[in-house]
A and B are shown apart, each in its own frame.
Chain A
Amino acid sequence: MPLDTSAYNLALLRVDGRRWNELRRVHAQIRTQAAADGSSYLEMGHTKVMCVVTGPSEPGPRRGGAGAGGGGGSGGKDAEVAVSIVIAGFSSVDRKRHGKGDKRTLELQSTVSNALSASLHTHLFPHSQINISLHVLSQDGSLLAALINAATLACVDAGIPMTDYVAACTAGSTSTYAANDEAADPLLDLNHQEEQELPGLTVATLGNSDRVAVLVCESRVQVGRLEGMLAVGVDGCKQMREILDRVVREKGQRMIQEGTVERGVGLNDMDVD
Chain B
Amino acid sequence: MASTQHVLLSPAELAYLHASLSLTPPIRPDGRTRTQFRPLVAETGILPGANGSARICFADGTEAIVGVKAEVERTQSRHDDETVYVEGAANNGGDGDAETKEDSRTGDSSWAEMTVEIPGLRDDDSGTAFLAAMLSEALLADGEFARRLWINRRFHWKLYLDIILISPPLSYPLPLLSLTTHLALLSTRLPRLQSEGDEDPFFDDDWAAAPHLFPRPTTTTPTHRPPITLLVMAVGDSIIFDPSKEELAVADVALAVSVSGDRSEPGEGGAGRKLRLLSIRTIDPPSRLTPPGVANAANSAYGAGNGAPQKMAEARTAEAEAAAEEGVWRAPRGGAKRAVLGALVQKVLEAGGVVDEVLDALEGVDLG
Contacts and interface: CB of A to CB of B under 8 A. Distances in A.
Indicate the member of B62, B69, B121, B123 with the most A CB atoms within 10 Å.
Answer: B69
A150 B115 CA distance: 25
B63 interface: yes
A91 B123 CA distance: 18
Given A46-B49, A95-B69, A95-B162, 10 more contacts: A33-B167, A36-B167, A48-B47, A50-B65, A65-B121, A89-B67, A90-B162, A91-B67, A100-B122, A100-B123
Given A64-B121, A86-B117, A135-B65, A52 B49 contact: no
Nearest to A134: B119
A99 B68 CA distance: 18
Contacts of A62: 120
Interface of B: 46-50, 53, 57, 59-63, 65, 67-69, 71, 115, 117, 119-123, 160, 162, 164, 166-168, 170
Interface in A77-119: 84, 86, 88-95, 97, 99-100
Given A33-B61, A35-B61, A97-B115, A135 B168 contact: no
Nearest to A64: B120
B122 A138 contact: no
Nearest to A99: B123
Contacts of A33: 57, 61, 63, 166-167
A128 interface: no
Contacts of A97: 115
20 contacts: A33-B57, A35-B168, A36-B167, A46-B48, A50-B65, A52-B119, A65-B121, A84-B119, A86-B117, A86-B164, A89-B67, A89-B69, A89-B160, A89-B162, A90-B69, A99-B123, A131-B120, A133-B120, A137-B65, A137-B67
A52 B123 contact: no
A90 B53 contact: yes
B181 to A, nearest CB: 13
Contact of B47 (A65, A94, A133, A138): A138
Interface residues of A, number: 30
A35 B60 contact: yes
3 residue pairs, one from A and one from B, having the closest CB atoms: A35-B61, A90-B67, A64-B120
A89 B115 CA distance: 9
Contact of B167 (A35, A46, A48): A35
A11 interface: no
Contact of A93 (B47, B49, B62): B49
A16 to B, nearest CB: 15
A89 B53 CA distance: 12
Contacts of B160: 89-90, 95
Contacts of B65: 50, 88, 135, 137
A92 B50 CA distance: 9
B165 to A, nearest CB: 9
A270 interface: no
Interface string A25-59: 00000000111100000000010101010100000
Nearest to B65: A137
A138 to B, nearest CB: 5
Contacts of B63: 33, 35
Contacts of A84: 119-120
A48 B117 CA distance: 17
A89 B164 CA distance: 10
Contacts of B61: 33-36
Nearest to B160: A95
A90 B47 contact: yes
